[in-house]
Amino acid sequence: MQYIEIFELIGVVAFAMAGVLVGIEYGFDLFGIFVLAFLTALGGGLFRDIMLGNHPPVCFTHFSYIICVAITVVVFLIFLKVFDTHLGTRDIHKIKALITFFDAVGLGIFCVTGTIFAMEMGFADNMLLCVASGLVTSIVGGMCRDVLATRKPVVLRKEIYAVAAIVGSVLYYLTYDIIGNVVAIYLCAIIVTVIRLVSVRKRVNMLFRVKNERLKDKDDDHDDYFDHYGFEDYHGRHSDK
């Protein structure tokens, strides 16, 4: 399990770096960047602990996670500041690609460890809860980050992410007693990581596509609907009162 903890910390680092990049992209100040980084890296585990009734949450009792995030943010910000004017488009793409890789590794590890956490708390007979625990551990932090940054959560609109976590959690739950705990952990984590990386590489997603552009028009004037269906007189009469 020691290797799992190492991989988990790698995932924490990747999630924290992703939070830093989003904070910079959306113009957050230093405190805001730290908040986004902490939420991205630890928000999933925090939500999982609240959901399972584990108090206080693990991130407040195992300080290695908080220290890891803090060091990551400081070092990454210093790196970006020092090489600010020297980073070209290709360099930035390489950095983001590296973060994407470790993010995928973290996704695979977190969905499995989240499932294990629920099982060790005595919920092993509840598959739905165990899978949900793995899912929220791996995706809720990123969703909180995106909500704070006022953008649509990436896990709900881009390449396969949450579905990969569900697959990993379900596979672990179904196989750990058959092939052994350690083998199941590594196998499921690798499968999730590969699914995520392939979906990014091949741009595989689950978008629901329609041909009617009116259904996708976010800026449509809703007053047109009232006018079209004959409510303009009703609106006029009541606006004079």
**For 72-116, how does the pLDDT look when each residue is reduced to its tens digit (9 = 90+)?**
999 999 999 999 888 899 998 998 898 889 889 889 999 999 999
Whether 235 is in a domain gets the answer no
SS3 state at 40: helix
What pLDDT does residue 191 have? 97
Whether 125 is in a domain gets the answer yes
Whether 145 is in a domain gets the answer yes
Whether 100 is in a domain gets the answer yes
Mean pLDDT of all residues in the chain?
A: 88
SS3 state at 211: coil
103 φ, ψ (degrees, to nearest 5): -65, -40
Whether 238 is in a domain gets the answer no
Averaged pLDDT, 208-219? 76
Place of tokens 């004959």: 230
Lowest-confidence region among 7-11, 58-62, 102-106, 148-152: 7-11
Tally of CB atoms within 10 A around 69: 25
Domain residues for the domain of 110 are 2-208
Which has the higher per-residue pLDDT, 120 or 159? 120
The radius of gyration of the chain's CA atoms, rounded to the nearest angstrom, is: 22
User: What one-letter code names the amino acid at 96?
Assistant: K
Which has the higher per-residue pLDDT, 8 or 128? 128
Q: Dump the DSSP string for 118-145.
A: HIIIIITT-HHHHHHHHHHHHHHHHHHH
Size of the chain, expressed as the number of residues it contains: 241
- Cα–Cα distance list, 79 to 85, 99, 190, 240 (Å): 11, 14, 30, 61
DSSP state of 214: G
- The token duo for 216 is 């996708």
What pLDDT does residue 207 have? 81
The C-alpha atoms of residue 43 and residue 20 are separated, in whole angstroms, by 14
Using an 8 Å Cβ cutoff, are 89 and 160 in contact? no
pLDDT over 60 at 137, yes or no: yes
The C-alpha atoms of residue 159 and residue 181 are separated, in whole angstroms, by 29
The C-alpha atoms of residue 160 and residue 226 are separated, in whole angstroms, by 39
Whether 35 is in a domain gets the answer yes
The C-alpha atoms of residue 78 and residue 72 are separated, in whole angstroms, by 10
Domains in the chain: how many in total? 1
* Residue 227: band (very low, low, confident or very high) from pLDDT cuts 50, 70, 90: low
- The token duo for 55 is 């108090």
Whether 76 is in a domain gets the answer yes
Whether 218 is in a domain gets the answer no
The C-alpha atoms of residue 8 and residue 106 are separated, in whole angstroms, by 6
